[in-house]
Structure 1
Amino acid sequence: MSRLSGKIAIVTGAGSGIGKATVELFRGEGALVVGADIVGADVDCDAGSDDSIASLVEQVADQYGGLDIFFANAGVSGGLASIFDQTVADWNEILRVNLIGPFLAIKHAAPLMKERGGGSIIATASVAGLRSGAGGPAYSASKAGVISLVKTAAQQLTGSNVRVNAICPGLIETGMTEFVYERARAKGQEGRLGHLNPLKRGGEPGEIAAAALFLASDESSYVNGHALVVDGGLSSSHPVNSQTYGRTAI
C-alpha cells in the first residue's frame, strides 16, 4: 500500500536536487504533490515571500480540498564568505529564504492541517545548524534557526495533531553544492568528497527525500519537534584523523 495515498502535499525548492527528488518520491507513494520553486517546478513561488506562500497554500487547498504535508525545502547557500566579508543585505536574503520561508510555511499551512485533523510540516535545516564548519556564517545561523523553529512550532501547535520536524542533511550533491563537486572532480579528488564522515561519501538527494517521506508518513506519527540528522555520521563527532583516539581504519 502506498505510504502517502490520498495525501495532498506541497514541496518548495522543487525545481532541482532534494526538492525534485522528494516530489517524485511522494508521487510514487500516492500523494498529490504540488512542487514550487522560483523556476522549474509546477508553480512559480518565492519561498520567502508572505504573499507568495499564502497564495500557494490557498490555491492548493481550494483546488484539491485541503493540505496534509508541507515540505519547506527551498534554500540558498550565500557562499562561504566570512562574517567580516558578508553584508547586512547578504544576511537579510539568506535568512529571508532559509528561515522566514519555513516560518511562513508553518504560519499558513498549519491552520488548514488542523482543520483536517492533523498533518506534517517538514523543514530543511542542515548539519551547518548544529556546529560550525559546514557552511557560511549566515547560512549556518539560518539553519540553526530552523532547528529552533520546528521545536517552538511543535509546542505552539499542541493539541492540533500537526507535527513539525526538520531534516539536517550533510553533504548532498545538489545545485547548491555543485561548485564543491565540480572543483573536486577538476582536481581529481572526487573520492575525498564526504571523507570526514564514517561512510566516507557524500549523500544523494534521494536519501534526503526518503527521510522526508518518513516524516511525512504515518510511520513517524510520534515524531514531533525533532531535527533528524542525515549526514553519514558526520555530526556524531568532531572531525578527527582516523588514527586519533585509537580508531581503526578498515
Structure 2
Amino acid sequence: MTQSVVVTGGGSGIGRAAALRFAADGAKVVVADLNGDNADAVVKQIISDGGTAVAVVGDLTDQAVVDRVVATAVDTFGGLDVLVNNAGIADSMSAAADVTDAEWQRVLAVDLTAPFLLTRAALPVMLAKGKGSIVFTISAAGLRGGAAGTAYTTAKHGLVGLTKSVAIMYRDAGIRANAIAPGGTRTGIRVDLDPEAHGPRVVGPHQRHGVGRMAEPEEQAAAIVFLASDAASNISGVVLPVDNGWAAI
C-alpha cells in the first residue's frame, strides 16, 4: 500500500536521504524544510526518478507551518501514515554557565518543541485511521552527556521522553513511536564554537575517542525507513543507536 510520509528537514542531510529512500520505496513524500531551494531540489529529484513528492517551506516552530505540513499530506496524498521528525539545529557546545537565553530558546524550540507540535498535529490523523508510525531523529547527545552542549543535549534527552511517552500512550491505538540516535554523520550541520570555551574543551575529548567512523546519511535513512515500516510492526518506544558502536563504549 502506498504510504503518505512527512519528512522534516527533508532538504538536506539525513532528511534528504530519508525522503529519497521513502520515495524510492513508493511512498508519497512531503518534504518539509526551512530552506526552500533545498526542499524544491529534493522534490525535483524524486519526481525525476519517477516518484511523488511536494515541498512545504517554513519554520516548524510556527504552529501555522506545522498545520500546513499536516494539511498538505492529508489534502494532497489522502492522509498521513509516517511522520519523520528529523529537522534540527546544533548548539555551540556551550556549557550550562555559558548558554545564552537566545541559544537555549532557539535550540529547544527547533529540536524539541517543533517535533512535539508536529506529533500533536499528526496524531489525530493517524488515530482516525487506526495506524501510524512516528520516527524521531535524536542524537548520541540524547543518550549521553558528553556529545554536545547543554541546550542540544537537553533537547535531545527531551525527545527520548517524547518518543517513549507517545509509544506507551498510543500503543493500543495502532500508533508506534521510535527514534534513531545517530553518531557522527556526514551532514551539512555547522557548529559555531569557541574551541577554548569550557564546553568544547570538555566535550571534544569524548567525541574524538568515541565517534569512530563517520556514517553516511543513507545509513541513518535506512534505519529510519525500517523503523517506520511494517517490518518493525512490533517495535515501539525504541531509541536505536546508529553510531558504529559509540553507545556501547
- Which structure has the greater CA radius of gyration? 1
Following TM superposition, by how much is the alpha carbon of 1:197 offset from its aligned partner in structure 2, in angstroms? 4.5
3-state SS of the aligned residue for 1:6?
A: coil
Return the letter of the residue paired with 1:234: W
The residue number in structure 1 matching 2:20 is: 24
3-state SS of the aligned residue for 2:97?
A: coil
* Aligned partner (choices 214, 234, 248) of residue 202 of structure 1: 214
Following TM superposition, by how much is the alpha carbon of 1:144 offset from its aligned partner in structure 2, in angstroms? 0.4
Return the letter of the residue paired with 2:150: P
The residue number in structure 2 matching 1:101 is: 114
1:236 aligns with 2:248: yes
* Aligned partner (choices 164, 167, 170) of residue 157 of structure 1: 170
3-state SS of the aligned residue for 2:144?
A: coil
The residue number in structure 1 matching 2:225 is: 213
The residue number in structure 2 matching 1:129 is: 142
Asked if the contact 2:4–2:28 (Cα under 8 Å) also holds between the matched residues in 1, the reply is yes
The residue number in structure 2 matching 1:14 is: 10
Identify unmatched segments of 5+ residues in structure 2: 40-54, 194-206
3-state SS of the aligned residue for 1:159?
A: helix
Asked if the contact 2:92–2:192 (Cα under 8 Å) also holds between the matched residues in 1, the reply is no
Cα distance in 2, alignment partners of residues 232 and 177 from structure 1: 22
1:37 aligns with 2:27: no
3-state SS of the aligned residue for 2:181?
A: strand
Structure 1-normalised TM-score?
A: 0.83
CA deviations on 1:98-135 (whole Å, 9 max, x unpaired) are 01111112101111012122010111111111112211
Which contiguous aligned blocks of 4+ residues in structure 1 show a shift greater than 3 angstroms?
177-180, 194-198
Cα distance in 2, alignment partners of residues 47 and 123 from structure 1: 15
CA 1:29–1:150 in structure 2 vs 1: closer, same or farther (change >3 Å)?
same
Following TM superposition, by how much is the alpha carbon of 1:35 offset from its aligned partner in structure 2, in angstroms? 0.5
The residue number in structure 1 matching 2:125 is: 112
Return the letter of the residue paired with 1:35: V
Cα distance in 1, alignment partners of residues 97 and 187 from structure 2: 27
The residue number in structure 2 matching 1:223 is: 235
* Aligned partner (choices 79, 85, 88) of residue 66 of structure 1: 79
Return the letter of the residue paired with 1:176: I
Higher helix share: 2
Cα distance in 1, alignment partners of residues 219 and 72 from structure 2: 30
Identity among equivalent positions (%) equals 40
Return the letter of the residue paired with 1:103: F
3-state SS of the aligned residue for 1:81?
A: coil
How many residue pairs are counted as aligned between the two chains?
Answer: 219
Asked if the contact 2:90–2:191 (Cα under 8 Å) also holds between the matched residues in 1, the reply is no
